[in-house]
């Protein structure tokens, strides 16, 4: 019931999502993660 109430209230007053992350930083983090995973195996 709480989830349904939250969804209904949120949908009644929607706000557009504004992306704030830097895509270059995300790509760099993914690459670092791949390097770590490759070194573990």
Mean pLDDT by 10 residues, the chain (41 residues): 96 93 96 94 68
Report d(CA 17, CA 33) in Å as an integer.
Answer: 26
* Model pLDDT, residue 40: 86
Measure the CA dihedral 9/14/19/20, to 10°. -60
Say how many domains are in the chain.
1
Domain limits at 23? Answer: 2-39
């Amino acid at each position: 019931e709480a989830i349904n109430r939250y969804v209904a209230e949120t949908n009644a007053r929607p706000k557009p999502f504004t992306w704030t992350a830097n895509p270059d930083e995300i790509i760099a983090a993914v690459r670092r993660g791949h390097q770590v995973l490759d070194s573990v195996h």
